[in-house]
A and B are shown apart, each in its own frame.
Chain A
Amino acid sequence: GAVVSQHPSWVICKSGTSVKIECRSLDFQATTMFWYRQFPKQSLMLMATSNEGSKATYEQGVEKDKFLINHASLTLSTLTVTSAHPEDSSFYICSASTGREDEQYFGPGTRLTVT
């Protein structure tokens, strides 16, 4: 149980284009989903927290117009990187939670490369 999937697992896009990443909880309802960014050999940096049906809460320094987050259902959240630039290249990981802090499960991550 408690499986979280992400799609795609990796993506290469050209500078200026937009990329959408999906995060799905496959066998439970996720009232809250989190989006993290991880640079090589670095920690997980929380970008935003989204609750189903509500606007996402972004961490300080994260541009909400650039990283669009939608949490339209209890099993799906999407992150869209708009007008991507090479500096947006990173490993993006989502996690889904039932609402209990000890029930937060991570997706496998998406490797984004912007050329």
Chain B
Amino acid sequence: EVQLVETGGGLIQPGGSLRLSCAASGFTVSSNYMSWVRQAPGKGLEWVSVIYSGGSTYYADSVKGRFTISRDNSKNTLYLQMNSLRAEDTAVYYCARVRYCGGDCLDYWGQGTLVTVSS
């Protein structure tokens, strides 16, 4: 059974850093594309980043230069390193597995972890 479990969220001051983790089971993270998607409180879904199986990475303009997606193959875990955090980064962050649907659709999602950026 495919499972994704995010951890690492919490309250952080503006300008601070946080690293989110997404532990996967039931499949191999390194053999798949993986994404992060976030949802601000009461708002819609916003794609954040993707890492391809070959290691290529892409980011939304809103986080480019501040966030870094990575993975640890030995731990079968996906990460999102978030630096220079801003109030507008406050959101529930979901990791999701990308499936090839002619392109990248998201077939399994974690339960999400809440990041609150506030002083």
A binds B: no
